[in-house]
Homo-oligomer: A and B are copies of this chain.
Amino acid sequence: MATVVPLAEAVGNLVHDGDSVAMEGFTHLIPYAAGHEIIRQGHRGLTLIRMTPDLIYDQLIGMGCARRLVFSWGGNPGVGSLHRFRDAVQNHWPAPLEIEEHSHAGIANAYVAGASGLPFAVLRGYRGTDLPSRTPNIRPITCPFTGEELTAVPAINPDVAIVHAQRADRRGNVQLWGITGVQKEAVLAARRSLVTVEEIVEELEPRPGAVVLPEWAITHVSEAPLGSHPSYSAGYTVRDNDFYQAWDGIARDRDTFLAWMDENVLDRKAAR
């Protein structure tokens, strides 16, 4: 049921103001090209969901696309803070940002519940931390057999999930490999989904460690070569660690940030 369409069209079809949008990719395969297209299309009021917000959410937040952020770790990995995220939380710039804060285990399980058609997930998590006092979506649950108290989180079922993968075939079957994170869960949990890919090929040759998402479980596939930069697509590109470090300087200041976005995102067209 997947249809292969240009990126701008895919984002236009799938993302609407006010939607909840999950863009996943655990360090690897982060869908930057799609995120930039959302910024260009000027969407507002989004609930952004992502385990590790990373630079792409720093950009979306800094450009005022987000009303709410559901996350578990909002930093620039190995570098430091996400300055736009901090500025939004600490100073409400460019707009107030509501946050719903979890642990990695909590969000990962919330996606699993979403993908599984269950209303909640159970884990050994959060107990004794201050997170449940700040995140009402973390509740105790009692084992009906042992009486032990554990923790429940509600399923995440985003309006749209967006992930990046290495390849798709012409029918829209998708193949990704390397660190595959929670991408399968995010796509299966979502009402609609977009997978951007490095390339579209005639046939998906089997590969060690590859996850295949069948086309009938995806809404749109778009070709977006280099679409995960400055993250990477194993087998196609390498992580641009220098950019991650440079971002600290770019994002620290509002004007520098806006100028960079203007030049590097708003002026550019979607890949195709």
Interface residues of A, Cβ cutoff 8 Å to B: 117-124, 137, 139-141, 143-146, 148, 150, 152, 154, 206-210
A139 touching B150 in the complex, CB below 8 Å, given contacts A206-B209, A208-B206: no
Which of chain B's residues have a CB closer than 8 A to the CB of A123?
118
Q: How far is the CB of A97 from chain B (nearest CB, A)?
A: 23
A122 contact set on B, CB distance < 8 A: 118, 120-122
CB closest chain-B residue, reference A123: B118
Give chain B nearest CB distance to A58 CB in angstroms.
30
Q: Tell me, in angstroms, the Cα distance from A202 to B19 when the chains sit together.
A: 52
Tell me the smallest distance from the CB of A206 to a CB of chain B, in Å: 4
Residues in B neighbouring A121, C-beta threshold 8 A:
122
Q: List 25 A-B contacts (CB under 8 A).
A: A117-B124, A118-B122, A118-B123, A118-B124, A118-B150, A119-B143, A119-B146, A119-B148, A120-B122, A120-B143, A120-B146, A121-B122, A122-B122, A139-B144, A139-B145, A140-B144, A141-B141, A141-B144, A143-B152, A144-B152, A145-B154, A146-B154, A207-B208, A208-B208, A208-B210
A124: chain B residues within 8 A (beta carbon): 117-118
In angstroms, Cα B152 to Cα A207, docked, is: 37
Docked pose: A119 CA to B142 CA in angstroms: 10
- Once the chains bind, are B139 and A120 in contact (CB under 8 Å)? no
Looking at the assembled complex, report how far the CB atom of A142 sits from the nearest CB atom of chain B, in whole angstroms.
Answer: 9
A137 to B118, CA, bound (A): 20
> Which 3 pairs show the lowest CB-CB distances between chains A and B?
A206-B208, A119-B143, A145-B154
Q: Give the residue name and chain of the B residue nearest to A210 (CB).
A: B208
A3 CB to nearest B CB, Å: 27
Contacts of A145 in B (CB 8 A): 119-120, 137, 139, 152, 154
Once bound together, how far apart are the Cα atoms of A121 and B117, in whole Å?
14
